Chains A and B, each alone.
Chain A
Amino acid sequence: MRPENYEAQRQPPSNEYELNFGPNHPGIEGNYALKVKLHGDVVLEAKADGGYLHRGFEKLMEQRLWIQNIALVPRICVPDPSPMELCYSMAVEQLCGLKVPKRARWIRVMQLELSRIAAHLFTFGGHAATTGMYSTMYWGVADRDLLLDLFEEFTGGRVYSIYNIPGGVRRELPDGFLQRVTETLDYIESRLADYDNLFFKNQVFVKRAKGVGVMSREQALAWGVTGPNLRATGLAFDVRRDDPYLVYDQLDFDIPTEENGDAWARTLVRRHELMQSIRILRQVVEALPDIHGPIRAPIPNPLAWNVPAGETYTRVESSKGELCYYVVSDGGPKPYRVHVRGPSSMHAVQVLEKLSVGSRIEDIAQTMFSLDACPPEVDR
């Protein structure tokens, strides 16, 4: 199976050779490929070969109504879809000058943090599987399923919730839902000690991940790295705190950082972030019963909705990093231009290419999963 830009070369008289890593490979995350040049098992050069998941989102969104795009955007990043719909909704709200009711903003925070926990658990599972620890994968995926049950209950969808619309959220929380959120959070918190013993403190994992894919803070900033990967280099930057949206300025949470910038540090940052998300969710669960009022602002007939002309740029903190939308309207029923700045397109292409060099071929999976790249978002 050869990529179309592949040209067989007569090998030089040495042990250097080229290898196609992926797309059909368990060590790679999703449908993505790397072309690696190796000497023995040491990587000399890596070239990302994406495009297997390209669907042309930015073009598709120009051809659909403003409200129809809500159903399209979560599909950009499959494991963590909620920030996608929120960021798009925020852009449309800014263009229209819509004011989101207070209750809707709190519910949105709850949805985002639940989605973050689910995405992190899924990443731990995938990452552990690449080191051969399949129990962690079985646990992570099974615990994530509890959160998907919550999503199904309050949004109606297991994976793609399509819950945010410009102006607020689609429906009210079911009765007794906050109680079930608390129960699930208690359960996940009680499981974290087991995860520590099985995965995070496991010497099999620590020795594989420590010192792999090291990047310095300067490199991270120069390469456009955001999110947990940036915080693993010691810089406490989080959009939730430094450019607050929704009600994050009223919530109390820490920004966990690590200093080493290697695969182990990146995984640990995610593990601490999971705790912070649980902390945020507990505050939301406590505050929500006292917040009454509508859950969405009145919007015009969505099928004949001409959003005022203008352009806007919104950003949120997704579980992978900083997610931004640049939306331009010409006053028509459809967007004029939508650009998605996803975190993974930096992480999986330029960063992964550079961090893989010098490591051994079996460590590519470590680097890729610790960067938590999301191939559907790279290709879009």
Chain B
Amino acid sequence: MSSINQIPVIEAKKGNPLARVFDELVRFCRSRSLFILHYCTGCGAIELPPAMTSRFDMERLGIQPMVSPRQADILLITGYVSIKTLKRVILTYEQMGSPKYVIGICSCTVNGGMYWQSYATAKKLDEYMPVDLYIAGCMPRPEAVIAGLQQLMDSIHAGKANSWEDYYRNYDYYLGNQQKLFGDNWQTPTDVIAEAKHYNLLSKGTLGVHTRLLEQHQQPLEALEMRLGHNLKEPTE
């Protein structure tokens, strides 16, 4: 599980005159090719097809939907997240490669919105994962979605969209809230602490009461056994 520790981290050489130019170039390229994960969590997803297709055309900004979380950059939380969905959202978020950005669309992600008294939804999204940007409204128009995405592009270019680092720095806080909702034996397949060490982001808030609780309940993950072709070996009649 800690095999990620064995991968050597290449330290950036300080004082290289080209480093700043290179960083600027990387940030520029990053902000100009963003892939949104194709996961519609709630009703705000109905304004995404108009934003993506002919009329408002998100693709002119270099933004496209992507089906797999490993290749996606942006996790759009479109509206309310029920507790069952939130589990999948957290698993998906942890699977995405860094740097990753989270946008909360609709008022439901801010404070619960219409469903503030519902027993089934999680009210504040930023208790469970760091959020880069909120687009408020019920539901926000496609123009608002595109304006929000442009703002995200600007902040990526300026190097300010760094909320994904916050997840590693304050993992104990987020894990605590997740455990409060899902129970003490909540566990995800991703080893976040090892990743935090890998990114040199291990800080005071990463480890704490809740990560110790996780260690107590943690069960080793078994690799999925794929046994295909058993009857291929048998002679066919």
Q: Are B40 and A31 in contact (CB under 8 A)?
A: yes
Contact at B40–A142, with CB atoms within 8 Å?
Answer: no
Whether B49 contacts A159 by the Cβ 8 Å rule is: no
Residues on B with C-beta less than 8 A from A51 are: 82, 84
Flag if A24 contacts B92 (CB, 8 Å).
yes
Tell me the complex Cα distance, A13–B229, Å. 8
Q: Which of B38, B46, B55, B80 touches A159 (beta carbons < 8 Å)?
A: B46
B interface footprint on A366-380 (CB within 8 Å = 1, 0 otherwise): 000000000010010
The reply to whether the CB of A54 lies closer than 8 angstroms to some CB of chain B is: yes
List A contacts of B228 (CB < 8 A): 15, 17
Evaluate contact between B82 and A138: CB separation under 8 angstroms. Answer: no
A142 to chain B, nearest CB (A): 4
The 8 A CB mask of A185-221 against B (1 = contact, 0 = none) is 0000000000000000000000000000000000000
Complex: how many Å from CA A275 to CA B193?
A: 59
Question: Number of residues in A with C-beta < 8 Å to the partner?
Answer: 44
Does A72 lie at the interface of the complex (its beta carbon under 8 Å from any beta carbon of B)? Answer: yes
How many Å from the CB of B14 to the closest CB on chain A? Answer: 40
A64 shortest CB reach to chain B, Å:
9
| Cross-interface CB contact of A60 among B40, B45, B91, B118, cutoff 8 Å | B118
Q: Is A31's CB under 8 angstroms from B85's CB?
A: yes
Chain B neighbourhood of A379, CB < 8 A: 82
* 13 A-B residue pairs with CB within 8 Å: A13-B230, A14-B231, A24-B38, A24-B88, A31-B42, A55-B120, A75-B43, A78-B43, A122-B49, A125-B49, A139-B54, A148-B50, A160-B139
A158 to B230, CA, bound (A): 56
Contact of A45 with B by CB under 8 A = no
Are A13 and B231 within 8 A (Cβ)? yes
A53 touches which of B42, B114, B138 (Cβ 8 Å): B42
Residues in B with CB closer than 8 Å to A311 are none
| A60–B115 touching, CB < 8 Å | yes
B55 adjacent to A142 (CB under 8 Å): yes
**Residue count of chain B within 8 Å CB distance of chain A:** 42
- Report Cα–Cα, A317/B34, bound state, in Å: 41
Contact code string B80-121 (vs A, CB < 8 Å = 1, else 0): 101011011001100000000000000000000011011111
B41 within 8 A of A: yes
The docked-state distance in angstroms from the alpha carbon of A1 to that of B69 is: 11
Using Cβ atoms and an 8 Å threshold, which residues of chain B touch A137?
A: 49, 53
Determine if B39 and A23 form an interchain contact, defined as CB atoms under 8 angstroms apart: yes
Query: Given A24-B69, A78-B46, A141-B53, does the pair A60, B88 have CB atoms closer than 8 Å?
Result: no
Known: A24-B37, A55-B115. 11 other contacts (CB 8 A): A4-B87, A10-B225, A11-B225, A24-B92, A31-B42, A54-B82, A56-B119, A63-B117, A78-B45, A137-B49, A158-B47
Q: Which of A8, A10, A376 contacts B43 (CB 8 A)?
A: A376
The smallest C-beta distance from B98 to any residue of chain A, in angstroms, reads 19
Q: What is the CA–CA distance of A51 and B91 in the complex, to the nearest angstrom? A: 17
Contacts of A1 in B (CB 8 A): 88, 91-92
Q: Which residues from B are CB-within-8-Å of A59?
A: 118-119
At the interface, yes or no: A30 with Cβ under 8 Å from chain B? yes
Bound CA–CA A262/B114 (angstroms): 38
A144: chain B residues within 8 A (beta carbon): 50
Q: Are A30 and B82 in contact (CB under 8 A)?
A: no
B53–A142 touching, CB < 8 Å = yes
Q: In the complex the two chains form, is A55's CB within 8 Å of B84's CB?
A: no
